Amino acid sequence: MRIRRELRPGDVGEMIALHGRIYSEEWGHDASFEGMVAQSFADVAARGWPRAGEGIWIVEEGDRVVGCLGLTDEGEGEARLRWFVLEAHLRGRGLGRLVLDELFEEAERAGYERITLETFSDLAAAAHLYRDYGFELVWEDTRPRWSRPAVTYQRYERVLRSAVASTPAA
């Protein structure tokens, strides 16, 4: 297994397919979920992602993409943690924390004020990890999604040390 930090031709398609497979098998999501993931990649690619201050972490076993994580610049001091997924056999081994540590180092280096992420409430282990990293739930919306009768979509945010350090004392 290795972690690659550069984007190559074909990677985006493999990461989209990985999301489609995992979320279909584990959560029963239909192809509209994979379409949403594809649209998110298209949206950031149209902005020129990955640029300076952004990043990609691609986990590979042999020639297979088995995990990924992305960091995008959303403007106005906000970064977004995106596309964080690992195949089941890689979870619980510290790999998620390793790539998150690197993502936060990159975000701090780039000077972002905050990081946001969007997820859904069924991912309890991921939510626990996000809270361990200082994320706070800021909104949620429950409604039918991805062929399921009710999914609670959530947004988390975390203020970064670089923003706290630059805040004037009262």
At 14-57, the pLDDT tens digits run: 999 999 999 999 999 999 999 999 999 999 999 999 999 999 99
Residue 170 lies in a domain: no
Q: State the average pLDDT over residues 86-98.
A: 95
Residue 7 lies in a domain: yes
- Please, what is the average pLDDT of the chain? 93
- Range(s) of the domain holding residue 112: 2-165
Query: For residue 106, what is the domain's CATH number?
Result: 3.40.630.30
Residue 52 lies in a domain: yes
Residue 36 lies in a domain: yes
Q: Please give, one letter per residue, the 3-state secondary structure of the chain.
A: CEEECCCCCCHHHHHHHHHHHHHHHHHCCCHHHHHHHHHHHHHHHHCCCCCCCCEEEEEEECCEEEEEEEEEEEECCEEEEEEEEECHHHCCCCHHHHHHHHHHHHHHHHCCCEEEEEEECCCHHHHHHHHHCCCEEEEEEEEEECCEEEEEEEEEEEECHHHHHCCCCC
Number of folded domains that form the chain = 1
Residue 154 lies in a domain: yes
- Whether pLDDT at 168 is above 90: no
At 102-129, the pLDDT tens digits run: 999 999 999 999 999 999 999 999 999 9
Instruction: Give the whole-number percent of the chain exceeding pLDDT 70.
Output: 95
